[in-house]
Structure 1
């Protein structure tokens, strides 16, 4: 930790390979980050998509000190299931928080960790797509943090919310983790180690996940001028 750099906090690899006393605690950090990003409005700045993709690449490192089985598929299944569970619990907390604190959030002043514009953008996104917004939101930075809160504020039916909550969490975790693992293996077969291109991977994933949001904002500006 002597060479700690604050910029590491936005680098998913830092969390995955983090050790305490020689014991790798990356798995627990990953699970907490997923929970925080989907359940606590202060978690919107945390690396979500890129973290899960890299978790697939570093699957063995994350699992072997906790619960390792001699099967890549079973290890991926365990890791993805744990992440999905964290995502479900996170969204449940976000929904509860929104249901209990909706009025307070809409009237709260902006702070470093809270921007009301993110809440309003998520509300608009949610109103446009309905229940499916919970699924779409999983793959969109910032929106995935505020979507369950908005669902709670809007008193979305709990059973409907839980259905989309569970489905979206499973899709998000399994798609990204399995993609990271098997793409890593595929490229390794061509002599390319994706672990040497982590920075590029993070940039690509950020671009892929934010482009839809940017396009939406660009299209919206001309409409606002009319």
Structure 2
């Protein structure tokens, strides 16, 4: 029996291959609570690498299968998140005691207000935590269904396909790249956190500016 760690991309890919990509990306793209604990960027990128890797112990994946599963998971998960938001998303967010979820919901709401629906739905896909709550928040805020569907599909395809293809191109050009997979995943994690750090810095600056006394 294979022991699977659902938060570990290597374990998921070894056990389920491309199907694991579909299920995890579906959940991470809008399933509140469970989506926070699943890999997203750190699953898609290694999956692309392993489509090209030639290591003896690396799971062999087919690029077209990974691309299709990533796309289906991202788009279908986004739609499910929207439906959850339309039917009880606000109540769930109000009851939760999860600090990460509350912070992610606040960032998602600010993103929608700052950039508008289309741009926010595309940008939000590339921000960890935010992409898990962005689609339920869009549903809770009554973003028009047609607008949501168009832009979350664009964002989902750009995010999922670009990460898989980047991993594949790196795996194709660097010999035995799978030997450095853990290091590469760590780099992806750091890069994926940069938008969150930038947003936190902007939020602190905005709070300081609002707290300054106005001149008489």
Q: Name the TM-score, length of structure 1 as normaliser.
A: 0.81
Count of aligned pairs between the two proteins: 201
Q: Contact between 2:50 and 2:171, CA under 8 Å: does it hold in 1?
A: no
1:34-62 alpha-carbon deviations (Å, 9 max, x no partner):
00000201212211012101111222745
Q: Contact between 1:34 and 1:48, CA under 8 Å: does it hold in 2?
A: yes
Q: CA RMSD in A?
A: 2.1
| Aligned counterpart in structure 2 of residue 154 of structure 1, from 122, 141, 158 | 141
What 5-or-longer segments of structure 1 have no aligned partner?
19-24, 64-74
How far 1:85 moved relative to its partner? 1.2
Match of 2:167 in 1: 180
Whether 2:209 is the aligned partner of 1:212: answer: no
**Pairwise mapping of residues 29-40 of structure 1 onto structure 2 (< 5 A)?**
29-40=20-31
Match of 1:90 in 2: 77
Q: What is the alpha-carbon distance in structure 1 between the residues aligned to residue 93 and residue 82 of structure 2?
A: 15
Q: Name the TM-score, length of structure 2 as normaliser.
A: 0.84
Write out the 4+ residue segments of structure 1 that deviate beyond 6 Å after TM superposition.
none
Classify 1:101/1:125 alpha carbon distance in 2 versus 1 (closer, same or farther; 3 Å). Answer: same
Q: Contact between 1:36 and 1:90, CA under 8 Å: does it hold in 2?
A: yes
**Pairwise mapping of residues 139-150 of structure 1 onto structure 2 (< 5 A)?**
139-150=126-137
| Aligned counterpart in structure 1 of residue 106 of structure 2, from 101, 120, 138 | 120
What 5-or-longer segments of structure 2 have no aligned partner?
53-58, 212-216
How far 1:9 moved relative to its partner? 4.2
